[in-house]
Amino acid sequence: MKLNPLLTVLSAAAIGFFIGVSFPVQVTPKLSPLSFGYGNCTFGGSYILSRFSTALGNNSSAVERAPLLQSKTTSEKVVAPAMPKGAERLPPNVVVRESDLHLRRLWGHPREDTPTRKYLLVLTVGYSDKVNVNATIHKFSKNFDVILFHYDGRTSEWDEFEWSKEAVHVSARKQAKWWYAKRFLHPNIVAPYEYIFIWDQDLGTETFDAEEYIKIVKKHGLEISQPGMDITRGVKTYDINVRRNDTEIHRSTSVGKCSTDIHKRPCSAFVEVNAPVFTKEAWSCVWHMIQSDLVHGWGLDWNFWRCVDEPERQIGIVDAQYVAHHSGFTLGNPGNDTADGSRRKVRVRASSEFGMFKARLNNADKAMAAALLGHSDAAPRGRSHR
């Protein structure tokens, strides 16, 4: 009997279907879990582990939102980095997440421009500070890009100095340096620089050498540091910052009020706000801690310890390279203390901001601890055996 060709094809298809159902084969590669750490821009992974718990490390929301890509070398799928907010419509290979503060030419080929320098010096200045600022900048080598924040609106006058023509000038009248830092030193902008010096304009640098300073910082693994303060030529605020004559660096002090307990701020793991030096990783964390409305930055130095994994090892004072702090509190207009903008009223606000910042951090710490506790309580529990 001659079979109908159509029936033959349909029968073969049906048989194949039932065989496939009976013997399933997994053809989709398994997705291997990837671990994700927390960078220093907010809270370091080991920071969370050592101070709170491992609960945050189990958050998989970033993994769930990230696109899956097929690996070329294995049969597994890998998680691609999430696109930065605002760049979702762009092809990934054209997205540039970081920039710098290095000046470039308007002519020639970009690859022939001078490369971004290794380090960054940041000064907040007025033109009346020009003599001291000029002396300071000469202590920094060609390995430094320089940015000046001008609180008096005078920028073009600085061109009397040759180095000024290669510096970046930002002008905003009557602002404090942490106001500028929050707005112009975003971590993605300073990412190419290994170290960021955010200094006051009134430091005496006669005995200072920036390159030698960096050698010492690298040698001792300091993430946040400052030069020792020479109080024979300047003023002091904290005992820990005073330069010692018998050491290359120090990380704590037992002088004065610190004689009872050196393992607390500002007796150890403490750097003052007038001459701090940050690695780019530590600065990324500090930048996120700066409050946009608290412009004086009082209280930041009491909390720099949050931005490293081991504060008593990674924060220190470099005694072998020291400076002098020539002035005390200089913000505000001298004279009539009752006028707006007077030195007294500016200091009152700075002191008030210190209390506000402390309260915000205390509340944030409590909220974080509660969230971690809640996350731990919500974790699935094993079945009880009766």
pLDDT tens-place string over residues 115-136 = 999 999 999 999 999 999 999 9
Q: How many Cα atoms within 13 Å fall on the side-chain side of residue 162?
A: 2
- 10 Å CB burial of residue 220 (0-12, 13-18, 19+) is middle
Residue 187 backbone dihedrals phi, psi, to 5 degrees: -50, -35
Which of 326-330, 352-356, 373-377 has the weakest average pLDDT?
326-330
Over range 154-160, report the average pLDDT.
Answer: 95
pLDDT, one tens digit per residue, over 250-259 is 999 999 999 9
Q: What tokens appear for 162 in the block? A: 């040759």
Q: How is 279-312 classified by DSSP, letter by letter? A: EHHHHHHHHHHS-TT-TT-TTSGGGGGGGSS-HH
pLDDT for 348 beyond 80: yes
pLDDT band at 343 (very low <50, low <70, confident <90, very high): confident
Over range 174-203, report the average pLDDT.
Answer: 96
pLDDT for 381 beyond 70: no
pLDDT value of residue 164: 96
pLDDT, one tens digit per residue, over 47-75 is 444 443 333 333 333 333 444 444 455 55
Q: What tokens appear for 166 in the block? A: 């290669």
Long-range contacts of 67-73 (CB under 8 A, 24+ apart): 68/31, 70/29
Alpha-carbon distance of 243 to 323, in angstroms, equals 9
Alpha-carbon distance of 103 to 101, in angstroms, equals 6
pLDDT > 90 fraction of the chain, expressed in percent and rounded:
66
pLDDT for 13 beyond 60: no
Query: How long, in residues, is the chain?
Result: 386
More confident residue, 379 or 9: 379
Helix or strand or coil: residue 275? coil
Using the Cα atoms of residue 216, residue 222, residue 226 and residue 231 in order, give the sign of their dihedral: negative
pLDDT, one tens digit per residue, over 31-42 is 333 333 333 444
For residue 371, the one-letter residue type is: A
293, 294, 296, 302 alpha-carbon torsion, rounded to 10°: -150
pLDDT for 9 beyond 60: no
pLDDT value of residue 65: 40
68, 69, 70, 76 alpha-carbon torsion, rounded to 10°: -50
Alpha-carbon distance of 351 to 75, in angstroms, equals 60
Angle (CA) 362 366 367, round 5°: 115
pLDDT, one tens digit per residue, over 72-94 is 555 556 566 688 889 999 999 99
pLDDT value of residue 55: 36
pLDDT band at 382 (very low <50, low <70, confident <90, very high): low
Alpha-carbon distance of 199 to 273, in angstroms, equals 8
pLDDT for 8 beyond 60: no
Using the Cα atoms of residue 168, residue 172, residue 176 and residue 181 in order, give the sign of their dihedral: negative
